[in-house]
Structure 1
Amino acid sequence: MPPANPHPRRRHGNGRHCRFRGRRGTCPFRLVWPNPGMEKRGNRKQNLLQSIARSGHLSSGELSALAELFETLSTSDKTGEAGLDITTFRDLMHSSFDIDSEIIMDRIFRAFNRRGSENRLNLEDFLDGLKIFLKGMPQEKLMYCFNVYDLNGDGWITRDEMLHFLKDCLVKSSPDEDTEEGVKELVELVIRKVDRDGDGKVSLRDFASAVHDDPLLLEFLGQCLPDPKVTSLPFRPMTSPFPVPLTGKRRDVSLLDGACRP
């Protein structure tokens, strides 16, 4: 008879040739302890997905697909917690939504990153951010866009912040052409359009009023939301690499059907 199992919590972990397989006792030659940490993280993930699904933005299936994508792209820190770094996040924004401004991508990352470390997104921030980014209500998208454009988080979009976003939008017709004055003129034009109380800067109330009158002003300093055609596509984990990743290496980070360009 096999020796009595001194550790009843242990489970059988030997191969199929173990002569004690199927017996009530546990194989004494190769024992495996359960991993309560993995089980705890799995339960926490399921609770998180259920909680976010209750908001009604994304279905359980869509959230599961996004969580699977996060696990594929994320790396673990010293504590074992998974996180998405800013470089991989840029690749994702570029490949799936054709956002190519590094300034905008960095600001989207900061708008998403509410609970994680400075340079890493955790799963909750990733899902909470994408639910607004993809299928947020108008007021949620309004607040999100304002936060993207408000560089220092003081509640105002100033001339200097507008200049920061718009300085690369004008194309030089010749190498010697100075576009600085053109950008400044563009900033003044934007101020006159969006600054409703005339104080020379844009508050959230100014922004909301301007967008109410002209919805195209929602992204007046650059694309920070996906094309509606993209968000209407079904979710499915993709493995098609995007064409020219910003990091210079190919990564399978596509998010939606049809999001990758050949």
Structure 2
Amino acid sequence: MSRKRVKLLVDSLTRSSKHFNKSEVECLVNLFDTLVAKASSHFAGAGFDRTVFRDTLHSAFGLTDEVMLDRVFSAFDRSNTGSITVVEWVEGLGVLLRGTLEEKMKCKIDLYANIW
């Protein structure tokens, strides 16, 4: 992605993000690009798949429960495409890491509702 497109994307995500400042969004976009590079060529440029997502959450947060990781992936993948886009990545991490109690409760209810 060109520098200009990255800057426009970071600016847009910073305006829409309630949980991250500009430098944090920039770091998350850079991490996203790194994860996309790991993804299979099927998703290259569009996002990364469930395997990369699960590996990332496992290494970053120590999450090991496969069912829960699949549910979290589904919560992030709001477009239901089978890959996580940069917008879904930033917004999902916003709720997961810095969401309000209300946002986290809604997310947990959605996660557990899908299990039953």
- Residue number among 71, 77, 89 corresponding to 2:33 in the alignment: 71
Q: What TM-score do the two structures reach when normalised by structure 1?
A: 0.39
1:82 corresponds in structure 2 to 46
Which one-letter code corresponds to 2:53 in the other structure? Answer: F
Which one-letter code corresponds to 1:126 in the other structure? Answer: W
Counterparts in 2 of 1:78 and 1:84: CA distance versus 1, 3 Å: closer
**Gaps in structure 2 of 5+ consecutive residues:** none
**Displacement of 1:104 after TM fit?**
0.4
**Displacement of 1:76 after TM fit?**
6.9
**Displacement of 1:48 after TM fit?**
3.3
2:19 corresponds in structure 1 to 57
The 2-side partners of 1:57 and 1:79 are apart by 27
As a proportion of its length, which structure holds more strand?
1
CA RMSD of aligned residues (A): 2.3
Report how many residues are paired.
Answer: 113
Cα deviation 1:31-59 (Å, max 9, x = unaligned): xxxxxxx54x842x433322332333111
**Displacement of 1:148 after TM fit?**
1.2
Q: What TM-score do the two structures reach when normalised by structure 2?
A: 0.82
User: How many percent of aligned residue pairs carry the same amino acid?
Assistant: 34
**Displacement of 1:142 after TM fit?**
1.2
- Residue number among 74, 86, 107 corresponding to 1:110 in the alignment: 74
Asked which structure has the greater CA Rg, the reply is: 1
Counterparts in 2 of 1:129 and 1:83: CA distance versus 1, 3 Å: same
**Gaps in structure 1 of 5+ consecutive residues:** 1-37, 153-160, 162-262
Higher relative contact order (CA 8 A, sep 6+): 2
As a proportion of its length, which structure holds more helix?
2
